[in-house]
Structure 1
């Protein structure tokens, strides 16, 4: 039986996987001190908290919500004028002494890299950071009204992420990078393919290109419609698109692009992650998706950007039901 790491590689390389990859089982996530010091993210906040993170963004985590949200109302937007971003945006600290990295390094050193990938976790992404600073509507308008300033801010964010990447390689040497940046809604991308190519591809090729030079796999999370952006995402260097929801027509994506990129999803949180969830409803969704799509280039997974869920027990139940499905379909013992 292949290890979790080997099975994932066989899956994305079009080899001979002996079962479906089970959600995030092959990833040993490491939450690094740069991310934790910035603050204002799901892994650093508790429901009910409101904080200002190191980007100057006010972030709140309402009770009952899946995660924290930036606040832009009542004059709280950190960046109010895109043309003045140079005077306004102050990037968080990146360089910390080795002792600050001690816990993350020890966690990475403890991972059996034959069994799992040491996975760096980077969030929010380049566009999401700008959205956090400005708000969604002003950010979208800026693409049209102030494209030069937007290009400059994108380049600034990419250079910051590149410096961040070098610290990750210095201390934890990840095998894989799990990077967030949501590119659309459930039914449409935020950007035309032409706009996406102009603004996103150059900066992501810079960041992902560095990681790939270091031998890392790239897993990009966007739980949205991205079918029209896949050619550009391939050009960026993405190995696995995580969060592929049903509106993308997953079987067609695998058929069309398998061998160039793999897809991790098909079990939408909007479908299974409900207050009234049951093992039976989750098993039915897994069977529906996996009966239609063979394991090459497809990794069944919930669409949330990590091993988590909105309603307690859902993620574990999904993993249990995929394991049951694997045992039945592949005669595993």
Structure 2
């Protein structure tokens, strides 16, 4: 029987997997929060809100709120709380967090990393938010999208600044954790379309990620897994250009079977089991089983990793993620 790591590699290389890659199983790290390496002195800066608690300001100066009953936190973008109110003055208000921590600051986080069995799974570092998300976290989505049109030079300059920070952060992750895989968040679309047209995406976003993902690949990282739980089928050629190995979060609206047929072998797809269909208060094992079966039967065994589309192991409603896992175990026995 192949290890989880081996089985994933066989799947994305079009080889001989002996079962379906079961959601995030190949990225699980011993005793790490959220199933991946998330703790480090750089990302630990600033404050984070708790569900139902008061808003908190992170290390970038972005105020995040997490109201009770809401799946996650998101920035507050009223006039008082926006970090960037005028894009032409972003240099006055945007200050990147510190990255030059001494070795002793990293030491408390290392036991979790050292405990990972790298023959069984990928030592996976979690990075969020991404370049586009950081832009709209700082100024709001409306202002962000307008500024791409109205102030392109300033947006290029801001993205360059954010990219340089990410590269400094990447250098420290590589130095201390030596990750095998990077799981990077940056949502690039809604459920029906990308936020930017492909040409604009190519101009503003692609160069940044070619630098970031190129750095990781040049420094021992084997896999780049990028999360965008959205429609982004029109951006797949750019994902390939960036160096993404697995697009995680591809909702079924993308026509994942067609993407596999067209791009399989250049990139793999992780998702197709939409939260919106099964991660509901009225979920049942039967409703989950129906959607999971549909997904694996339309997408096949190669270049596809069946998974809930949200960006990490878990679900909004307790038990849904585990129900998917159970169905995939059954289907592996049936299909392989």
Distance 1:299 1:121 in 2: 18
Distance 1:232 1:158 in 2: 17
Map of 2:172 onto structure 1:
167
Distance 1:317 1:186 in 2: 24
Alignment of 1:153 with 2:146, yes or no, is no
1:82-231 to 2 correspondence within 5 Å? 82-216=87-221, 217-231=223-237
Moved more, 90-99 or 231-240: 90-99
Assess if the C-alpha contact under 8 Å between 2:178 and 2:220 holds in 1: no
Map of 2:259 onto structure 1:
253
Query: 1:106, CA displacement in angstroms?
Result: 1.1
Task: Flag the 1:11–1:148 CA change in 2: closer, same or farther, 3 A.
Answer: same
Assess if the C-alpha contact under 8 Å between 2:23 and 2:306 holds in 1: yes
Alignment of 1:296 with 2:298, yes or no, is no
Which among 75, 83, 86 is matched to residue 70 of structure 1? 75
Query: 1:298, CA displacement in angstroms?
Result: 0.1
Question: What SS does structure 2 have at the residue aligned with 1:255?
Answer: helix
Question: What SS does structure 2 have at the residue aligned with 1:166?
Answer: helix
Assess if the C-alpha contact under 8 Å between 1:268 and 1:302 holds in 2: yes
| Segments ≥4 residues shifted beyond 6 Å | none
Map of 1:18 onto structure 2:
18
Query: 1:117, CA displacement in angstroms?
Result: 0.4
Assess if the C-alpha contact under 8 Å between 1:39 and 1:45 holds in 2: no
Query: 1:327, CA displacement in angstroms?
Result: 1.9
Query: 1:317, CA displacement in angstroms?
Result: 1.5
Distance 1:248 1:215 in 2: 31
Question: What SS does structure 2 have at the residue aligned with 1:48?
Answer: coil
Moved more, 187-196 or 29-38: 29-38
Map of 2:44 onto structure 1:
36
Query: 1:95, CA displacement in angstroms?
Result: 2.0
Alignment of 1:318 with 2:330, yes or no, is no
Map of 1:243 onto structure 2:
249
Distance 2:65 2:264 in 1: 39
Assess if the C-alpha contact under 8 Å between 1:123 and 1:179 holds in 2: yes
Query: 1:322, CA displacement in angstroms?
Result: 1.1
Distance 2:145 2:3 in 1: 44
TM norm structure 1: 0.96
Distance 1:95 1:45 in 2: 28
Map of 1:5 onto structure 2:
5
TM norm structure 2: 0.95
Query: 1:279, CA displacement in angstroms?
Result: 0.9
Which among 38, 49, 63 is matched to residue 58 of structure 1? 63
Moved more, 242-251 or 104-113: 104-113
Query: 1:165, CA displacement in angstroms?
Result: 0.3
Distance 2:88 2:66 in 1: 30
Distance 1:49 1:15 in 2: 50
Query: 1:323, CA displacement in angstroms?
Result: 1.2
Unaligned runs of 5+ in 2: 30-35
Task: Write the deviation string for residues 212-270 of structure 1: whole angstroms up to 9, x where unpaired.
Answer: 11231100000001010100110000000000101100000000000000000011111
